[in-house]
Amino acid sequence: MNVPVDPCGRPDVFDLDLTTTSWKRLRKWLALKCDSEDDGKDVDISFLLQHFGSLPRTMLTLYKAISGGIDWDNAVLVLSSVGGWMEYIFSAYVFFTVFCCLNIVTGIFVDNAKALKVADEEAMHHEAMKERQKWITEVAELFSKISVEKDAKLTKDDFVYHVTNSDRINTCFYHLGINTETTNTDELWELFDIDDSGCIDQDEFAIGIKQFHGVARSIDLFKLRKEVREILKQLNKIMAEGRRALVTGWSQGPHSEHLLVGSDAMSAAYLAQLGIPFGGTPVVLRPPEESLQEASKVSKSASATSQAKAAAAPTSPSGKEGPPDGRNFLEKWIEADLAPQGRCHKQKVLTRFPPEPNGYLHIGHAKSIMINFGLAHKYGGECNLRFDDTNPDTEETEYVEAIQEDVAWVCQALEMEKVKKGGKPWKNEPVYASDYFQQMYDFAIDLIKHGKAYVDSQTPEEVQKNRGGGANNLPGVDSAYRNRSVEENLKLFREMQEGKHAEGSMLLRAKIDMKHPNMNMRDPPMYRIRFSHHHRSGDQWKVYPIYDFAHGNEDAIEGVTHSICTLEFENHRALYDWFLDNCTIVPSRPYQKEFARLEVQGAVTSKRKLLRLVKEGHVTGWDDPRLLTIRGIRRRGVRPQGIKRMADGVGVSDRNSTTPFEFVEECWREDLEPISKRRLAVLDPLEVEIIDYEKEELIEGITDLPEQSASSQPSCARTLSFSKKIFIEQSDYQENPPEGYFRLGAIGSEVKLRHSYVIKLVEVVKDSSGRVVKLKCSHDSSTRDVMPADRKPKVIHWVNAKDCLDAEVRLINPLFLPMPDPVPEGKDFLSYINPEAMVRCKAKVEKALSNCVLEDRFQFERLGYFAPDYDCFTEPKKLSFNRVVPLKESADKKKIEGKGTASRKEEQQKQMAEKERLMKIPPQEFFKSERGDEFSAYDAEGVPTHDKEGNPLPKSSIKKLAKDLEKQKKLHESWKASK
């Protein structure tokens, strides 16, 4: 169609400089378009949609023109009806383009009341994703090429075939943190968006990868963008059929919460299913001509903000703008508090790490240590190490000392100046909850005096029964003792402390609301009676504070500015705030935020389970290298820098997810690769006699690291000896080699010895039982320092039999085999201990390893990364090495590694069988049958609403569960359709 001339005489209003074109000018043009309705013909909007589909300028520029300038640090925008239906289309499309494609709006508010909260830029520009961009590009290009070869008709079956059979595609997915052998191919297929030409949209794929790993927060951007594309297709289809489409903005009126496309609707409830939460205080940005003064203020604010950002942003050597903002939500919270007008302006940040001294720390604690100490260090503050010793029954001094040592070791990775100078990473000395017992007791007295706490004499069974909850979240029942007088409560509480009442006979409870929907707010206990001996205060106290009461009070006493907890405390935050807001004598007012703790696939971190493993002798102690305790991974050989790399790679999120152990191993591997000294070790020795070699010689100038030079760095070089007899790996010879095996097999086969000669198999020597005990080979004397020009034999490692050392090399594998959840009746977690979790090899190693020190890390060539065990340095000394992490091994080496030998086909068959089993489960019964022990109540569709203790689930958890149920519905429907 011919594009009408706009009122200002320009042939196409969208060719105008939008930074100088007013909204009024655009509105007049749109009004002309709407007037064309009078002839009864619908307007073809395809040109408009096509233009925006290939917009040569950013929608940010357009929106700055429309709004008169937006403060993008605090941006909110209200879309409302200004003219005819054409403008609705325009405003709706702009809304979705900015919201879904550029992800630059901090908040978009609906009806001046409801808010759509957008995932922050950290979700879209995560540091780990930037490092993986080359793999995203390669995967997209590989499948685009395959799709083009299929005439742009890449099917799911084609996709599964290539994922199953292409090593290169598997390698790419591996670097993206996806194990294709264990991941459902349906999930992988959903990551791709293929256009009409058969090409993969890399931006869509990148977002899909983030969604797959649970990096994006609050909103399913990937799914929403697909929905917007469908809406636009429907608009053009409706126009082509000669029908009129009504697309409303979010404005007041009969369609105030709907975007209507023909008869279809996208409601606020639907958007909520995509993960968009509602809430917040709205701010209206008015068009410039309606409120020039307001727009001017906003424009100045935006200008000042952008100038400040430009001044502070790092620039590249070329002078271009630095990388996108990669701050996580905790960093943004702290920076907002430290800014002028912020809550903590001109204050020093104070965080805290508050372990209970009733066990050893594990890998999950390592992330929390990195966050609490790392954020304090980043913002020039400090972090308290606080021992939450409020339970005298389980705490021991042994744990206190171990925790201090573990925290100090992990924090070495933060490069803190005071640690470099021999100090500890925490502020002053460690602090204890027991230091504040008197102050917290006084806080409790204050609440009693103000009628906000009472002594309850119900039995424990009555207290539990009267809390309510359960499947229907029944309201609680007030205790008969709830209305005791202040005087009686004070008297009874003092008697509790004096030991005049038996354990379990009384509780001090907060008087809040027994009908509160949050179970934690139903008159929670504050103090209980305990006559146990405390490891620090002795027998002074007979009443001990409950953690929920102690937590916020400890923060307030210490002056903590930012109390950072894991997500299980999200429902407890209301109680944290209530205690601080209702006690009149707390010295400060801290605030709490929660992050998702580290959950590693297959890791057992329960203190109860770890204690059983140690006490029952399934492991050698808390520092057994098979355990994922901090002591265990330290002995294993992981460095603090490897833990930091892992924590940085996982990132900081407010949504729980499970991290594959392969990703953890990759982080450790990336830390060790550049610093590990290269050494030769043979784990399963097979003797080789070189029959035509009689002399002995030294091979000099072998450097510790590949990039080093022996001439310029002689201290980094070593000498290897070579003689007639050497040892190689048993696996480097196979009597009946499979196809594709290029090491020693048939007589006449060759290999190149690392740093030495090419040898050729001449004879195989066997013992009386037929077992191969020795190989006899010849050597090519011209190949010591070079690869032969006419052939390229495989390179293998070896050690000299004359001066090599005996050593025990321990191959550390996962402690547990895959464990079903829940564990079947009649079994417990110990039934799944991996018998090959530690494979002990009687190895032969080069003599240079005799001088190793505890801090050394080695790459045993072709084998993996290893560290000296403590046994090397304690009497009686024994040369021992633990494998920290393997190399990326080929399939023929898996047996000795204890990894099993299941083929990809077998794994896929298992996955298919599991999928067929799940398909038959009706959606309403899915969570009840598969995870029934986790929940106590469900809605009409079968989505869990309450945990096993009757507490309401967080909205974020319910949304995630609803998405899982939606997948189950589709799975079940496909099964029904196939019957």
Stretch among 36-50, 346-360, 961-975 having the lowest mean pLDDT: 36-50
What pLDDT was estimated at residue 310?
37
As a whole number of angstroms, the distance between CA 776 and CA 300 comes to 84
Cα–Cα distances (Å) from 713 to 483, 720, 756, 850, 860, in that order, read 81, 17, 22, 21, 21
* 128 close to 328: Cβ distance less than 8 angstroms: no
**The two three-digit tokens of residue 565, written as one number:** 């907890």
User: What is the chain's mean pLDDT, rounded?
Assistant: 75
Distance of CA 578 to the CA centre of its chain: 31
- Say whether pLDDT at 154 is over 90: no
Residue 567: DSSP 8-state: G
Which span out of 841-845, 898-902, 963-967 was modeled with the highest average pLDDT? 841-845
Give the residue among 619, 631, 607 at the shortest CA–CA distance from 405.
631
Q: What is the mean pLDDT of the segment spanning 70-74?
A: 33
Q: Which residue has the tokens 């950290």?
A: 122
As a whole number of angstroms, the distance between CA 453 and CA 444 comes to 8
* 867 close to 672: Cβ distance less than 8 angstroms: no
Strand 350-353 versus strand 382-387 pairing type: parallel
**Secondary structure of residue 403 in the 3-state scheme:** helix
Q: Cβ of 35: how many Cβ atoms within 10 Å? A: 11
Q: How much is the CA Rg of the chain, to the nearest whole Å?
A: 33
Stretch among 107-111, 170-174, 310-314, 575-579 having the lowest mean pLDDT: 107-111
What pLDDT was estimated at residue 65?
35
What pLDDT was estimated at residue 290?
31
* 737 close to 745: Cβ distance less than 8 angstroms: yes
Which residues have a Cβ under 8 Å from the Cβ of 405 and sit 6 or more positions away?
none
Exposed e or buried b per residue across 684-700, where buried means at least 16 C-beta atoms within 10 angstroms of its C-beta: bbbbbbbeebeeeeebe
Peptide bond into 822 cis (omega under 30): yes
Q: Which residue has the tokens 């230091």?
A: 435
* 412 close to 418: Cβ distance less than 8 angstroms: no
What pLDDT was estimated at residue 893?
47
Which amino acid is located at 750 in the chain? E
- Tell me the Ramachandran region of residue 390: left when phi exceeds 0, alpha when psi lies from -120 to 50, beta otherwise: alpha
Give the residue among 842, 844, 841, 862 at the shortest CA–CA distance from 725.
844
Q: Which residue has the tokens 């690869």?
A: 787
First to last CA, the chain: 50
What pLDDT was estimated at residue 67?
36
Give 900-951 pLDDT, tens digit per residue.
Answer: 444 444 555 666 777 778 888 888 888 888 887 788 888 888 899 888 878 8
* 742 close to 735: Cβ distance less than 8 angstroms: no
Give 536-559 pLDDT, tens digit per residue.
Answer: 899 999 999 999 999 999 999 999
- Say whether pLDDT at 88 is over 70: no
Give the residue among 652, 599, 646, 686 at the shortest CA–CA distance from 885.
646
Residue 360 sits at φ, ψ, to 5 deg, of -90, 150
**The two three-digit tokens of residue 841, written as one number:** 């090899």
Q: Cβ of 170: how many Cβ atoms within 10 Å? A: 18
Three-class HEC string of 575-607:
HHHHHHHHCCCCCCCCEEEEECCCCECCCCCCH
Q: What is the mean pLDDT of the segment spanning 562-583?
A: 92
Exposed e or buried b per residue across 803-830, where buried means at least 16 C-beta atoms within 10 angstroms of its C-beta: ebeebebbbbbbbbeeeeeeeeeeeeee
Strand 750-753 versus strand 795-796 pairing type: parallel
**The two three-digit tokens of residue 594, written as one number:** 């929660």
Q: What is the mean pLDDT of the segment spanning 83-108?
A: 35
Counting residues of the chain whose pLDDT is more than 90, the rounded percentage is: 45
Which residues have a Cβ under 8 Å from the Cβ of 97 and sit 6 or more positions away?
52, 55, 59
Which residues have a Cβ under 8 Å from the Cβ of 414 and sit 6 or more positions away?
370, 373, 374, 377, 425, 644
pLDDT band at 197 (very low <50, low <70, confident <90, very high): low
What pLDDT was estimated at residue 394?
79
Edge-to-edge strand list for the sheet holding 750-753: 795-796, 750-753, 758-766, 772-780, 685-690, 725-729, 799-800
Three-class HEC string of 862-875:
CCEEEEECHHHCCC
**The two three-digit tokens of residue 916, written as one number:** 């067929």
- Say whether pLDDT at 89 is over 80: no
Cα–Cα distances (Å) from 762 to 316, 770, 794, 799, in that order, read 60, 18, 17, 20
**The two three-digit tokens of residue 94, written as one number:** 């702009």
- Say whether pLDDT at 92 is over 90: no
What pLDDT was estimated at residue 766?
93
Return the active site residues: 356, 597, 607
Give 460-499 pLDDT, tens digit per residue.
Answer: 999 999 998 887 778 999 999 999 999 999 999 999 999 9
Apex 801 CA angle, 796 and 802, nearest 5: 140
**The two three-digit tokens of residue 204, written as one number:** 């869509």
Stretch among 152-156, 272-276, 514-518, 629-633 having the lowest mean pLDDT: 272-276
Q: Cβ of 377: how many Cβ atoms within 10 Å? A: 21
- Say whether pLDDT at 896 is over 60: no
Residue 4 sits at φ, ψ, to 5 deg, of -65, 150
Give 784-805 pLDDT, tens digit per residue.
Answer: 888 888 888 999 999 999 999 9
Residue 404: DSSP 8-state: H
Q: Which residue has the tokens 């008709």?
A: 153
Apex 834 CA angle, 832 and 839, nearest 5: 170
Helix (H) or strand (E) holding 143: helix 133-149
As a whole number of angstroms, the distance between CA 374 and CA 21 comes to 47
**Secondary structure of residue 261 in the 3-state scheme:** strand
Counting residues of the chain whose pLDDT is more than 70, the rounded percentage is: 69
- Say whether pLDDT at 395 is over 80: no
As a whole number of angstroms, the distance between CA 602 and CA 890 comes to 23
Tell me the whole-structure pTM to 2 decimals: 0.62
What pLDDT was estimated at residue 195?
66
- Say whether pLDDT at 263 is over 60: no
Apex 55 CA angle, 54 and 61, nearest 5: 165
What pLDDT was estimated at residue 473?
78
CA atoms within 13 A on the CB side of 707: 4
Burial class (CB in 10 A: 0-12, 13-18, 19+), 423: exposed
Residue 505: DSSP 8-state: S
As a whole number of angstroms, the distance between CA 27 and CA 24 comes to 5
**The two three-digit tokens of residue 20, written as one number:** 């100088």
Q: What is the mean pLDDT of the segment spanning 265-286?
A: 33
Exposed e or buried b per residue across 79-106, where buried means at least 16 C-beta atoms within 10 angstroms of its C-beta: bebbebbbbbbbbbbbbbbbbbbebbbb
Q: What is the mean pLDDT of the segment spanning 520-531?
A: 95
* 427 close to 373: Cβ distance less than 8 angstroms: no
- Tell me the Ramachandran region of residue 852: left when phi exceeds 0, alpha when psi lies from -120 to 50, beta otherwise: beta
**The two three-digit tokens of residue 132, written as one number:** 């993986």
As a whole number of angstroms, the distance between CA 226 and CA 218 comes to 17
Q: Which residue has the tokens 């833990």?
A: 643
Burial class (CB in 10 A: 0-12, 13-18, 19+), 39: exposed
Give 407-443 pLDDT, tens digit per residue.
Answer: 999 999 999 999 998 899 999 999 999 999 999 999 9
CA atoms within 13 A on the CB side of 527: 29
Partners of 383 in beta bridges: 351
Stretch among 477-486, 693-702, 959-968 having the lowest mean pLDDT: 959-968
Give 735-772 pLDDT, tens digit per residue.
Answer: 888 888 889 999 999 999 999 999 999 999 999 999 99
Higher pLDDT, 115 or 890: 890
As a whole number of angstroms, the distance between CA 554 and CA 499 comes to 25
Strand 507-510 versus strand 453-456 pairing type: antiparallel
Residue 850: DSSP 8-state: G
